[in-house]
Structure 1
Amino acid sequence: MSRETVSFGQSGPTPVCVDEGALSSRTGCYVITLTFPQPTQIGEITFRNYYTWAVGIHVLRAASNSSVNVGGVVGAGLLGGDSGGETAWAWKDPGAWQVGVKNKVIMPHPHTETASHDFVSVTCLEQSRVDWQDVIGLRLVLRQPSPVWRTFFIEEITAYRELPRLPPFSVPIISQDGQGEKNQQATPLDRLTQQTRRAMRIPQDESLEGELSGSGYDLVTLQYTC
């Protein structure tokens, strides 16, 4: 079953610099702003990386007693206000934004191409400091400290209302004859034990003495003794 996506407007990437008056052509920080037509729940954000070292996510949420139209008309005031200007004020006020994800590294080595084009998922439940409820705006803060890459951004941004539905992970146990045994779950210890049995040519129905640490196997010399 397909998951429900959330529509949004996008602006940016916009370069960011400490001194805006001295903003150079090359900056290591950009911001992409996502605006939602009404307060909504977000469970996951996915995107494709393009030479971005790390990404942060800042969240703007509507007040619980607010009726907000992000296009610029406010019914019952955003964040305590009651005039149309309060919407613009909330978007510009740094205090109105909450840091959900401070700095998620998506390109572990900024000077090399490792993971520079990976598909990235950020979920609210596991990675955000705040809930993504009644969200009217998200800011994706892109960082790239390396001067090697003149251009960096993210693309194919998708917002999902719910968390991802992942099937349970299971690996069939492989017997000595190469046939998988059905209805069994293999843990890493199971796989290690099987590999050790095959390496030492121990029949499947015989147990390892001491679970690889008894008298039958010397962990110091790594020799099997009869």
Structure 2
Amino acid sequence: MSRVSVPCHVKGTVALQVGDVRTSQGRPGVLVIDVTFPSVAPFELQEIMFKNYYTAFLSIRVRQHTSTHTPAKWVTCLRDYCLMPDPHSEEGAQEYVSLFKHQMLCDMARVLELRLILRQPSPLWLSFTVEELQIYQQGPKSPSMTFPKWLSHPVPCEQPAPLIEGLPDPNRVSSEVQQMWALTEMIRASHTSTRIGRFDVDGCYDLNLLSYT
């Protein structure tokens, strides 16, 4: 299925302070990023892709167009998606992430605006965000291809031509020829090559021996 990039405008991050802002212990642990689509009509979101930068958990809310007389409402479509298995370690801190519509908690049709809520509970990282944000919608369907009739309706396998009446079966003839060849080899192997010697004794023929032959 093809996809098409949707032009979007990413607003500046808004930090939500965690802890006492009057002390050094206070630091932003949650960031909010709004994404708008001023140049496109409400669309069906297919995929969200970005590069993580030390964000541990991600939640996404979507504002969808409902009807002319009903104001659009914000709906949570992703809640606390884990980007770093351990917020205190480097694993997953700078990975590329793709989120698809089947992973969302609600239908992603008629999207007007997105709100990304980033959370990092670990005090080890000075900053966190998401980078290279890309939004995709489903592209146009490919036109159906037409095939020639001979491809759409293949000819069934041809059957072998029937034997002409009166001719022997070639398989039977082949079998009999092989049997004859085997018998010939057996006879040739059993035939002795020793020639019978002359019936002579000291250069003279013995009449008794000759009479037996």
Instruction: Report what 2:187 is aligned to.
Output: none
Q: What do residues 27-69 of structure 1 show as CA deviations (whole Å, max 9, x unaligned)?
A: 1100111111231111110000000001111010011x33xxx
Shift of 1:17: 3.9
Instruction: Report what 2:31 is aligned to.
Output: 30
Instruction: Report what 1:16 is aligned to.
Output: 16
CA RMSD of aligned residues (A): 2.6
Shift of 1:139: 0.5
**Partner SS, residue 93 of structure 2:** coil
- Indicate yes or no: 2:82 matched with 1:105: yes
- Indicate yes or no: 2:113 matched with 1:137: yes
Instruction: Report what 1:62 is aligned to.
Output: 65
Aligned length, in residue pairs: 136
Instruction: Report what 2:47 is aligned to.
Output: 44
**Partner SS, residue 43 of structure 1:** strand
Report if the CA contact (8 A) 1:57-1:100 is conserved. yes
Give me the whole-angstrom Cα distance separating, in 2, the residues matched to 1:78 and 1:20: 40
Give me the whole-angstrom Cα distance separating, in 2, the residues matched to 1:3 and 1:142: 26
Shift of 1:3: 3.0
**Partner SS, residue 80 of structure 2:** strand
Instruction: Report what 1:204 is aligned to.
Output: none
Shift of 1:18: 7.5
Give me the whole-angstrom Cα distance separating, in 2, the residues matched to 1:42 and 1:22: 42
Task: Give runs of aligned pairs for residues 1-226 of structure 1, distance below 5 A.
Answer: 3-17=3-17, 26-37=27-38, 38-63=41-66, 65-66=67-68, 77=69, 79=71, 96-125=73-102, 127-162=103-138
> Where do 5+ consecutive residues of structure 2 fail to align?
140-213
Report if the CA contact (8 A) 1:17-1:23 is conserved. no
Percent of counterpart pairs with the same letter?
37
Amino acid at match of 1:14: V
Instruction: Report what 1:70 is aligned to.
Output: none
Give me the whole-angstrom Cα distance separating, in 2, the residues matched to 1:23 and 1:10: 31
CA separation of 1:61 and 1:106: change in aligned 2, threshold 3 A? same
Report if the CA contact (8 A) 1:59-1:137 is conserved. yes
Give me the whole-angstrom Cα distance separating, in 1, the residues matched to 2:88 and 2:123: 8
Q: How high is the TM-score relative to the length of structure 2? A: 0.58
CA separation of 1:23 and 1:33: change in aligned 2, threshold 3 A? farther
Report if the CA contact (8 A) 2:63-2:114 is conserved. yes
